[in-house]
């Protein structure tokens, strides 16, 4: 029997690769209802979104990123976070390289009725917090009930 040895697949571990592929299919690709804009697990940067009464806050986990290297734009209802992170430290041999290094882009769909002129971003402890205010006319309004 000819042993095929390609794509870095070591024949001894073929069963493990097959198991991994099957699990990936089961959990990621197999789900019939995943959103067309959804991203795979572990996409950099991780993003959290909070909706508040007056604003929407988007937190992006960007540890070790120089805020000058991040470009934020709002167009229609999409926020684009674009930038680069360089974790390369030159000298030495790496035992592990798990941290993301390179260029990244993430596009976040925003809810309707935000005022992109009232957006601010703050970088603290490796988290970039972007706060976008809701437009005045879209804020929830209290209706007074008068007794007839």
Partner 1 sequence: MADKNTQAVVRKDDAELASRIKDTLVPQVDICEDRESVTLYADLPGVAKDGLDVHIEKDTLQIYGRRSAHAQAAGTGAYTEMPARDYYRAFTIGEEVDRDHISAQLANGVLKVVLPKSERAKPKKIDIKYA
Per DSSP, the residues of 111-122 read PSSEEEEEEEEE
Residues in 33-72 that interact with partner 1 by CB under 8 A: 43, 46-51, 57, 59, 61-65
Residues 79-108 touching partner 1, rule: CB under 8 A, are 87, 89, 91-100
Nearest-approach distance from CB 43 to partner 1, in angstroms: 8
In the bound state with partner 1, the residue whose beta carbon lies nearer, of 116 and 131, is: 131
User: How many Å apart are CA 100 and CA 132, to the nearest integer?
Assistant: 27
* Structure token pair of residue 74: 């709002």
Q: How far is it between the farthest Cα atoms of the chain?
A: 93
Q: Applying CB under 8 A, which residues contact partner 1?
A: 43, 46-51, 57, 59, 61-65, 87, 89, 91-100, 123-127, 129
């Amino acid at each position: 029997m000819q042993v095929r040895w390609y794509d870095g697949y070591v024949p001894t571990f073929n069963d493990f690769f097959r198991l991994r592929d099957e699990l990936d299919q089961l959990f990621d690709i197999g789900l019939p209802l995943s959103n067309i804009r959804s991203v795979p697990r572990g996409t950099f940067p991780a993003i959290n979104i909070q909706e508040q009464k007056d604003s929407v806050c988007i937190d992006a986990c960007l540890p070790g990123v120089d805020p000058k290297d991040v470009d934020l734009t709002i167009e229609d209802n999409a926020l684009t976070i674009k930038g680069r992170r360089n974790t390369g430290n030159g000298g030495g041999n790496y035992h592990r390289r798990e941290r993301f290094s390179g260029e990244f882009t993430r596009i976040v769909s925003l809810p309707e009725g935000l005022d992109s002129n009232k957006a601010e971003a703050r970088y603290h402890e490796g988290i970039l917090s972007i706060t976008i205010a809701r437009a005045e006319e879209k804020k929830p309004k209290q209706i007074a009930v008068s007794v007839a």
